[in-house]
Amino acid sequence: MKKLKLAAAVALLSPALATAQIPVSDIDLTRFYVRLGASFVYPDDDITPLKYYLLQDWELYRTGWDIDENVTWNVSGVWRPLPYLGVEALYIGSPDHSLTITNFRAQPGRDNIEFGFFTTSSANLFVNWYLMDETCLGQPYIGIGVNYTDFYDDELKPEMQRYLIDSGLATGLSKFGMGHSWGASAQLGLDWRLGHGRAWLINAAVIYTDADTDGVVTFPVSPGYERLYSDFEYNPWTLNLGVTYEF
C-alpha cells in the first residue's frame, strides 16, 4: 500500500515535469522561502508482533500495536529558482509516541498492555512542482523526496517490565532499542499569499513517509541475554500547518 501511494505521487508529478517549458528569463536564483509551523503526526499501526529470534512466544503471538499520535513543530527552507520548481529541506522535530500492545492474552480480563515510548526526528529533502502561475495567490504543489528518520529515547514502561519478570522470561530489567530509517516521502501542499506583493504566506501540507526500523527488547536470563524483536513500520501521515516568509 505504501509503495502504491508513493507511486501515485510520482505518476502525478512526472507528466508535468516532462511537458514543462521554462524560459531562461524566468530563472531567479535568489528566491527563498522559510517556513515554520506545527506538525500533527499520525503513525501507522500495522506492525509485526513481538517475537523471539528463534521461537514465537504464545502470549505475544498475533499481538498488534497502538501508537499514539502527537503534535510537534517543523521548520523548512525552500529554494525556488523556477516558477514551477522548488527544492525544500524540511525538518520535523521530536514527536513523542506511546506504545501499547493490543490483543494481548497474558492478563485475564484485559486485551492490552502498556509497552513503552519513543521519540523521532525526521529530515526530508523534496523536489516540489508548483501547479499554478506564480502570480496566483494560491500556490498548490506536489513534492517527492527522500526521508531520514531517527528513533531515540526508546524505553519500556513499568507494566511491560513487570510482565517480563513475572512471566519468567526475564530475571531483571529489560531494555528497548530502535534504530533509524531511510525511505521515500511524498507531499501535497498549498502556499496562500496574504495579498499580491506580500512576502507572507500561509502554508498547509500533507506528507506521507516510508519509515521503518527494528524494535528489539533485550532482557537478562540465567545465564546471558535473550531478545524479542519486531519489524517496526512507523510510516506516518503528517499534517503541517504554518506560515511562510519569502525573501
Buried/exposed 175-206: b ≥16 CB within 10 Å, e otherwise: ebbbeebebbbbbebbbebeeeeeeebebebe
Residue 24 pLDDT: 59
Going residue by residue through the chain, which has 247 residues, state the pLDDT in tens, using 9 for 90 and above.
555 455 454 445 455 544 445 565 567 777 899 999 999 999 987 777 888 765 566 777 778 889 999 999 999 999 999 989 999 999 999 999 999 998 887 777 778 899 999 999 999 999 999 999 888 999 999 999 999 999 999 999 999 999 999 988 899 999 999 999 999 999 999 999 999 889 999 999 999 999 999 889 999 998 899 998 888 889 999 999 999 999 8
Whether the bond into 223 is cis, omega within 30 of 0: yes
Question: 168: Cβ–Cβ under 8 A, 6 or more apart, which residues?
Answer: none
Residue 103 pLDDT: 85
Distance of CA 149 to the CA centre of its chain: 7
Bridge partners, 215 (sequence order): 178, 230
Residue 126 pLDDT: 98
- What predicted TM-score, i.e. pTM, was given to this entire model? 0.83
Residue 40 pLDDT: 97
Torsion of CA 83, 203, 141, 180, to 10 degrees: 120
Q: Could you tell me the three cell numbers for 134?
A: 506564480
From first CA to last CA, the distance across the chain in angstroms is 39
- The owner of cell 513523542 is 96
Q: Could you tell me the three cell numbers for 38?
A: 506545527
